[in-house]
Amino acid sequence: MEDTNKQNDIITRINERYNSMSKSHKAIAAFIEEHYDQAVFMTAAKLGETLGISESTVVRFASGIGYDGYPEFQKALEEWVKNKLNAVQKMGAKYGKSSQSEILNSVLSADIEKIQDTMINMDTAAFETAVDIILNAKNIYIVGMRSCEPLADFLHFYLHMIRGGVQLLRSTSVSEMFEQMIRIDEKDAIIGISFPRYSMRTLKAMEFANDRNAKVITITDSIHSPMNLYSSCNLLARSDMVSIVDSLVAPLSVINALVVALCLKRPDEVKNNLEQLEYAWNNYQVYLNDEINFIDEDGMFNYPSLKKEQDE
């Protein structure tokens, strides 16, 4: 019953129909997903005024995603927001009487299960394709918003050590994001990272890249994710809600695997980049005793299973 409700909630309806929406309807969808806490209190006229479109367009949007007019649409949005707020209460009911160690064990066990599930269901062909795309693209653009921003930062940090031409898209608006990727073309690639609640800004960046014939890689949670609309290479990782916080352990592991695979494809180039970086640190005294040890050149290649294969 819960799965059925999830499939019919307002955000799921918007995501499923987004690809076929008009520009004005996409603008409404983006505002609702990014500012649902404001949209829930808006009349059709107020929402239209905020976005610079007509009230009738807003009403047609509500009908287009399966509601009998704006009042029913607004009621569904209110229900969705209420369910999100109830997550705090659900967390209290689940963990309220648990000891700290029980909470720790419960959350870590859930994260382990997500990683195992990701291992079993990962499309290895898609993973290998992603590695090849990243290695061969002229420029790589990385985008991840809200809770996915640390994942995008992590990937950008290590890709920058492996190859040049890596740009992390940072923005508070879609227009600013487009400005940063205005030169993207068929020689380039974009990596979009998004998990529920999906980011409409990330989706629009991927749509723009796809329209410019760039290769699109997505790291998301499900085949039903709207992030797959414009992606030719989908890396899926489990990210269920344990409480009010998304678990991003499995996605981070997938990103870590990407980095290791890329390092093993170009070990000499990576080693040379690290040597140059360490030389710069030493020569210009960048460290200032901030770190205990310098980078271990071979650290990235010391995964036990990989080392065993090389020895054999």
Q: What is the pLDDT along the chain (312 residues), one digit of tens a residue?
A: 334 344 467 877 887 787 788 889 988 988 887 788 788 889 999 999 999 999 999 999 999 999 999 999 999 998 887 776 655 555 554 555 556 666 677 777 777 888 888 888 888 899 999 999 999 999 999 998 888 899 999 999 888 888 889 999 987 667 788 888 889 999 999 999 988 778 888 888 898 999 999 999 999 888 778 888 888 899 988 876 544 556 788 899 899 899 889 888 877 777 777 777 666 666 666 555 555 555 555 555 566 656 555 555
User: Amino acid identity, residue 82?
Assistant: K
Number of domain units in the chain: 3
Asked if residue 300 lies in contact with residue 162, where contact means CB atoms within 8 angstroms, the answer is: no
Strands (E), 103-255: 140-144, 166-168, 189-193, 215-220, 233-236
Q: Are residues 187 and 251 in the same domain?
A: yes
Count CB atoms within 10 A of the CB of residue 14. Answer: 23
pLDDT for res 168: 92
pLDDT for res 221: 84
Q: Are residues 243 and 255 in the same domain?
A: yes
Q: Domain range for residue 34?
A: 2-95
Q: Are residues 143 and 248 in the same domain?
A: yes
Q: Is residue 105 part of a domain?
A: no
pLDDT for res 255: 92
Q: Are residues 190 and 254 in the same domain?
A: yes
Q: Are residues 184 and 77 in the same domain?
A: no
pLDDT for res 32: 85
In the block, tokens 């070990």 appear at: 267
Asked if residue 217 lies in contact with residue 231, where contact means CB atoms within 8 angstroms, the answer is: yes
pLDDT for res 3: 42
Q: Is residue 113 part of a domain?
A: no
Q: Are residues 157 and 179 in the same domain?
A: yes
Q: Are residues 153 and 76 in the same domain?
A: no
Q: Is residue 42 part of a domain?
A: yes
Q: Are residues 87 and 165 in the same domain?
A: no
Q: Are residues 138 and 14 in the same domain?
A: no
Q: Are residues 30 and 89 in the same domain?
A: yes
Q: Is residue 260 part of a domain?
A: yes
pLDDT digits (tens, 9 = 90+) for 258-307: 988 988 887 777 777 777 766 666 666 655 555 555 555 555 556 665 65
Q: Are residues 135 and 20 in the same domain?
A: no
Asked if residue 248 lies in contact with residue 195, where contact means CB atoms within 8 angstroms, the answer is: yes
Confidence (pTM): 0.66
Q: Are residues 210 and 144 in the same domain?
A: yes
pLDDT for res 232: 83
Q: Is residue 143 part of a domain?
A: yes
pLDDT for res 92: 53
Tell me the CA distances in angstroms from 35 to 29, 77, 200, 201, 220, one per residue in order.
10, 12, 11, 12, 21
pLDDT for res 284: 63
Count CB atoms within 10 A of the CB of residue 159. Answer: 22
Q: Is residue 152 part of a domain?
A: yes
The CATH number linked to 210 is 3.40.50.10490
